[in-house]
Structure 1
């Protein structure tokens, strides 16, 4: 799958002039909608000249502004496509072969592209935030991604104290923000057909000084403008449903990294938990 325009902007960030960086910030602020107006309007909004816009889109690998806008329109269409539309698209273009192979090929490609665009420094910074037990951690997902949020919450809760799951699928989630303090960490999962409830949660958390960590797709949830860090994971697959395998991989890698960084504390918590399990006889023992 080709890079999104957003990924291209980030990839060439170090090659941009001051005016081009100013333009890039404006484009990314409300991406991709910000780039769908006229070249003159975009230039005025960024406080640069129209030739500056033309030069930058060429640096991104586009022949000109019309091709750049066409790419943005294609991305917007992909963001809002519903499951039926996605299935019809794959049915027309899917390669021959068994679904096991086709689906696995797509997922492996998602993983490779997700890791290719991952920033190790950003990942390490998030690890440090989550290993800092002076900060409370709140985790939330959406209609589909709540399962990923619950998985991450369960593991972080074993690793360190003060980890809370926010269930945005009911109307009680505002109660969960009562104890949120400045400097706490809010981890959010949000993929295309982005959810208003999760966005509102992010807005409130940001206003209260929280550090927001976002797991999203390659088109990027609007929550990104409030986020301290964003993990953009590829999600397309030959199915009416998106694949969250790459997102789960990033999540599990983060679990491993936080556990390693906070191992002394984690080991004691795991030991205590195992003692509780033994007392309750929840699990069978074979020896």
Structure 2
């Protein structure tokens, strides 16, 4: 797991002082982690020994080891598809084996299952099932298709579901319909989109609850999110894989369908009746 992912996974088990270090690190990632022990301790309001205990709890023998891994994380996070393609060029064949490709996807699914805590998953399902609140979804250049797919299913299960549409310039118009307490699901993976990050800030101003579905390095939107679900997307090839994002979306859809079954069944029956009446005409 990337270091940010490790810290998120460890949050629930950290002692109070070390939890302060974790929060300071996550809120000021990655710059504070690349600074001195004293700087991180000062920002967290703790001591240098507390920072060292925090680093050791993550499995690092020393603070330099921790920083070395952090630099590698940042470098990997910032790599473009072109750079990843060049990195794997020597291993590329004219006809990549389908079995190898599927094996990589299976590894990502398994790693994602380990990265997402049950408590965070439960919290996400609770947010999505809160029918008193509106539910809005959107994603980035490649992930918005998954947001739309998820919205299409949730719209059948529960009321007041919306998919942010059109160009970035219209998003602010659509913000007018978001009330305090509404849920906004955002898909954002590397290389993170500045317009989505800005939208996250505006959503916080409107007191919306953000459910972020991201990668192990965590989109900057994580600072504003109520719940963060990290998915492993690096498949060791030119393009990141979105399979884990889709699998998680379907798991959330299925859980909300189950939790809201009585009302969902009534909505689904109504939809079937509408479809049947149209086909008879």
TM-score, length basis structure 2:
0.91
Shift of 1:58: 2.2
- Distance, in Å, in 2 between the alignment partners of 1:11 and 1:185 is 23
1:171 counterpart SS class:
helix
What per-residue deviation string (whole Å, max 9, x for no partner) do you get for residues 109-146 of structure 1? 11111111222222222222222221110101111111
- Distance, in Å, in 2 between the alignment partners of 1:265 and 1:128 is 15
Aligned to 1:45: 43
Mapping of 1:96-245 within 5 angstroms? 98-167=96-165, 169-245=167-243
The answer to whether the 8 Å contact 2:157/2:267 transfers is yes
Deviant stretches of 4+, over 4 Å: 92-95, 279-282
Identify if the C-alpha distance between structure 1 residues 14 and 228 changes in structure 2 by more than 3 Å, giving closer, same or farther: closer
Unmatched tracts of structure 2, length 5 or more? none
- Distance, in Å, in 2 between the alignment partners of 1:272 and 1:11 is 42
- Distance, in Å, in 2 between the alignment partners of 1:168 and 1:19 is 45
Kindly indicate whether structure 1 or structure 2 has the higher relative contact order, using CA contacts under 8 Å at least 6 residues apart.
2
Aligned to 1:35: 33
Identify if the C-alpha distance between structure 1 residues 98 and 117 changes in structure 2 by more than 3 Å, giving closer, same or farther: same
1:107 counterpart SS class:
helix
- Distance, in Å, in 2 between the alignment partners of 1:278 and 1:265 is 20
Aligned length: 280
TM-score, length basis structure 1:
0.90
Unmatched tracts of structure 1, length 5 or more? 283-287
Give the CA RMSD over aligned residues. Answer: 2.3
What per-residue deviation string (whole Å, max 9, x for no partner) do you get for residues 226-259 of structure 1? 1111110000113311101111111101001111
Q: 2:247 aligns with which of 249, 253, 263?
A: 249
Shift of 1:266: 1.6
Identify if the C-alpha distance between structure 1 residues 168 and 76 changes in structure 2 by more than 3 Å, giving closer, same or farther: farther
Single out whichever of 165-174 and 74-83 deviates more from structure 2.
165-174
Single out whichever of 166-175 and 222-231 deviates more from structure 2.
166-175
Aligned to 2:17: 19
- Distance, in Å, in 1 between the alignment partners of 2:168 and 2:37 is 43
The answer to whether the 8 Å contact 1:168/1:197 transfers is no
